[in-house]
Amino acid sequence: MSTAGPPQGAQHRSPQGEGTPVSTPRPPQDTPAGEVLLSARNLSMRFGGVLAVNSVSFDVRKGEVFTLIGPNGAGKTTVFNLISRLYTPTTGEIFFEGQNLTHTPAHEIARLGIARTFQNIELFEHASVLQNLLIGRHTHRSTGLWSEMFFTRKTREAEVAARQHVEQVIDLLDLQHYRDSLVAGLPYGVRKVVELARALSTGPKLLLLDEPSSGLNVEETGDMAFWIKDIQHELGITVLMVEHDMSLVSKVSDRVLAMNQGATLAQGTPSEVQNDAGVIEAYLGSIDDVSSLRRPVAAVAGQGARS
């Protein structure tokens, strides 16, 4: 993994066709290679004739909150699906703690220390909050079939350890009141927190949050920002996030990568990326685009006179 060379402010390039030479975004110069937890190199993903991700590269350092932003359809969630191995990249490689994940089966990802949430909540609705969280601990179980059937001492100890870990997560996210409630009867905002709690119950080293503030009100979004900082600072978990709410991005992110049409637009601190000309154009359009929507003053005046 190469980590050489610092960017001068935010990096910028326009979306390009596949096969066109592109510059590889690089982390800041003060980032030793040993601190890189996740590395994506020249990731591309094609669905038939659609190039959803186009030669995207970035490094996520241990202990930071790294956020992917961009308009709808920019390819952010596709990158998440590549990292969590729901998709296999058309080209490029993914490394986690130096291990190549490019062809690792999806069911092995949680065991390696990567957990994620989804835009659309994926919980067992007819199970309780506690049961959903305990399911998140299954990757750490070392007991076998016979041990489970006869509920041996090893199984009992594993049950106690799993329950202790889950209770710590419940306390962290203030879910005590909902511990024994069925997920189906919970408000949407609480369900979002339960999904976050289940991801934390796996004991991840890297947490993938796919639009954690989606569907939340202002107060709930503020709570989410608070919990993300707690996850980073108190639990020491690295966070890779996709998010549209720029206020949340600015509050919790150490570094940001902006995407548009599957390609990298800019990378840097939240303020650097938000002030990047290419990012502003991707969200708001160019000056020419805005000018073309304006009606000539004379035409407006003429219509007024006729009326």
> What does the pLDDT read at residue 241?
97
> What does the pLDDT read at residue 14?
40
Helix H or strand E segment including 296: none
Q: 16 vs 297, which has greater pLDDT?
A: 297
pLDDT band at 296; cut points 50, 70, 90: low
Q: pLDDT at residue 13 above 60?
A: no
> What does the pLDDT read at residue 137?
85
Q: What is the mean pLDDT of residues 270-288?
A: 83
Lowest mean pLDDT segment, chosen from 21-30, 52-61, 133-142, 235-244: 21-30
Q: How far apart are CA 63 and CA 71, in angstroms?
A: 26
> What does the pLDDT read at residue 305?
56
Q: What is the mean pLDDT of residues 91-112?
A: 94
The order of strands in the sheet holding 36-47 is 50-61, 36-47, 91-96, 99-100
Q: What is the mean pLDDT of residues 180-209?
A: 95
Q: What does the mean pLDDT of the chain come to?
A: 83
Q: Looking at the whole model, is its pTM more than 0.85? A: no
Q: pLDDT at residue 81 above 70?
A: yes
Q: What is the mean pLDDT of residues 3-11?
A: 42
- Tokens 């106690």 sit at which residue? 160
Residue 192 neighbours by CB under 8 Å, 6+ apart: 117, 121, 212, 214, 215, 216, 220, 224
Q: Tell me the percentage of the chain whose pLDDT exceeds 70.
A: 81
